[in-house]
Structure 1
């Protein structure tokens, strides 16, 4: 079940552009981008994966390993998680 609300207000002021291709069609969406700080911890790095959130309708069709450019930086989709409220969270990795 998803809501038929206009979510554009949530993805306006602090959102960035994301571009990707789904079924041969180039698309653009506004997303909230979270690229956590990567703190060095000895020889390892302690960090969460980068992610972005956008309207499910705008991000529809994205799957694991799809290429996506967020705020001018290339990534690949690790996982797409729709939350049932019309918002999808994309877990990313650097391309």
Structure 2
């Protein structure tokens, strides 16, 4: 298992970004979370196969139809940081 932390900037709060991310993550059999950050960005922590993480990263670059993604940062993470399932916080 691999893990990654993504930080998404742009118009990503109030546009169903977290809920849509959860749907994508579950389809990809990923565990983790998506949460709003106080500065208007969204943080996504995910664990699963490398291919699934790459697919999630590609989706995060676009986001749901209402979103506008200006930047996507991918950072290393530990599988130990990730719980069961995929939640929105």
TM over 0.5: no
Q: Which has the larger radius of gyration?
A: 1
Higher helix share: 2
Which TM-score applies when normalising by structure 1? 0.35
Which TM-score applies when normalising by structure 2? 0.37
Higher strand share: 1
Higher RCO, 1 vs 2 (CA within 8 Å, ≥6 residues apart): 2
